[in-house]
Amino acid sequence: MTFTLEQLAKTSGGQLVGDPSLRITGAASLAEATPGEISFFANPKYIGLLRKTRASAVFVPLHFADTLDVAQIRVSNPTKAFEQIVLKFAPKPITFAPGIHPTAVVDPSAQLGERVSIQPHAVIEAGVTIGDDTIIGAGSYVGHETIIGSSCLIYPRVTIRERSRIGSRVIIHSGAVIGADGFGFEMVDGRQQKIQQLGIVQIDDDVEIGANTTIDRARFGRTWIQQGVKIDNLVQIAHNVVIGKDSVIVAQTGISGSTRVGQRVMMGGQVGIVGHLEIGDGTAIGAQSGISKSTQGGAWFGSPAVPLAEAKQQIAWVHRLGKLFARVKEIEKKLRL
């Protein structure tokens, strides 16, 4: 498939700087693009890659003023404009026909909406309700009395335990486990005794959950993932945790029980949060940080985490210790003389 730059500029609503008849045959990143392809520039730290790119054209911000050898399409959001064009060059999306595969096991009491697709070897237990246009991937398990909304995509080999509540347009990737027991035990007569986990998991609309992520059911009440939350692969969310709207949680993060995370919070990879804390709206937590006390917004980093400015100062001090030790030794030598 081939498009002219003029066509791409019209599609994206952008301002073209360059030859409108130039033909574009593909899309790639700045580093990987070759002649005939279009790329995008949205972050100033990649200006070096922009100057070296072999792309024939680049989406740039509206007020981009640098001189380039390649054609430009100036748009308000280069990232989204590029995404639109990538979709034009991408293969057609894979679709699943509505219906129940002969190898799937669907309890007669399950209520399936219109155009639901149940793929091979999926298991749908008694009392389940599934909304219109939802896809249940091959080998997935949906437990008793679970409710799943419309237009959800449940990839192969997802486990959704009993009585979970899942909204509409939710995406859950392979290997995720929703509603496993929370980790609750108590020492009784010198032995660890299990505390029954009787609550549920509630996942609101427009949430995406990555591969091999686990979200535990509540001890009582609910573990609650609110609307628009995006969770990466290999994340552990413990019982009774609440994640506020539009928060982003990156791979290998672990959140201990009963912690409440506010709205629009961002957590880098391998963040660890102890239980029963409050993470304020808009908090940003750097990768590999350990959170041991509640926060009220702002950027945090380190283990135990502190406000980012303080963390930077501490790191600078540590890096200067070698020079400080050398100076102390010199002073000691002079004092001995």
Q: CB–CB of 119/156 below 8 Å? A: yes
The answer to whether 101 is a known catalytic residue is no
Measured CA distances, 142 to 38, 96, 107, 114, 160 (Å): 43, 18, 11, 18, 5
d(CA 71, CA 237): 46
Whole-angstrom Cα Rg for the chain: 26
Indicate which residue of 63, 121, 239, 319 is catalytic: 239
Structure tokens at 41: 């520039």
**3-state SS record for 219-279:** CCCEEEECCCCEECCCCEECCCCEECCCCEECCCCEECCCCEECCCCEECCCCEECCCCEE
Phi, psi dihedral angles at 138 (to 5 degrees): -60, 135
Give 193's strand partners.
Answer: 186
**Residue at token pair 């002219």:** 4
Who contacts 326 (Cβ-Cβ below 8 Å, separation ≥6)?
A: none
Catalytic residues: 239
